[in-house]
Amino acid sequence: MYKKALFPAMVLISTSSIAQSNFQFGIGYSLFKTVDSYSIGDYEDSINTPLLDARYVFNDNVLIEGSYRLIKDDMCTQPSGTSCSFGGEYINVSGVDVNILIGRHFTDKNAVYYYSGIGYFSDSWSFTGNGINDTISGIQIPIGVGYHFENLSIEAQYMYRSSTSYSKSSFDINTSTSDTYFGSDLTVDLYSLKLIYSL
């Protein structure tokens, strides 16, 4: 199913004009957030971390993007508003994104650009307390808007991810139970703010 979803975008890339192509590199900051709802209230996990971004712009309408979100500790909040207790241990998370973006005005200067697209993510979750590691991956839908100056752009991006990728993962911090870390009533959001330089 994933291959079928990516195929039309790959065809569009292969037929685009190379004459307008260029490389872009950027830095940014991302906020990953999950809300896990239970009868007693919501558990929230958030990860604020820097990111590195690289892009290849095929033409005014198509580009491919790769991002790496640096490893950072997860911050968990209980329904009471207090921090989750992991016995002095930590959950470490890092991630990689690859997106095909389709939009308008990717090559225009001093102009607003915008896009949507389709992509793939792979997040590495590990708990220092028991050595459990898991990779959570799946399809994502990026939506973004930015402004080009001459060679510099500022951009805001939102990433939609299906909660199923997380609720079906085997990641956990307690090996004595059959439960996993993420529940079934889950929402997942990823926001990023990026500063991008065009070579």
Q: Rounded mean pLDDT of 49-77? A: 96
Q: How far is CA 41 from the centre of its chain?
A: 26
- Sign, CA torsion 48/76/123/118: negative
pLDDT at site 40: 82
Which residue in 44, 38, 60 sits closest to 111, CA to CA? 60
What is the number of structural domains in the chain? 1
DSSP designation for 184:
S
Q: Report the pLDDT averaged over residues 3-16.
A: 50
39 DSSP 8-state letter = T
Q: Are 12 and 62 in contact (CB under 8 A)?
A: yes
CATH of the domain at 129: 2.40.160.20
Range of the domain at 129: 2-15+22-198
- pLDDT at 4 > cutoff 70: no
User: What are the pLDDT digits (tens) for 150-183?
Assistant: 899 999 999 999 999 998 888 888 766 777 888 8
**What is the pLDDT at residue 168?**
87
Mean pLDDT of the region 95-99: 97
- Residue 5 pLDDT more than 90? no
H-type alpha helices, 118-163:
none
Per-residue confidence band for 21, with pLDDT thresholds at 50, 70 and 90 = low
The residue ranking higher by pLDDT, 130 or 83, is 83
| pLDDT tens readout for residues 109-132 | 999 999 999 999 999 999 988 778
Residue 80 has pLDDT above 70, yes or no: yes
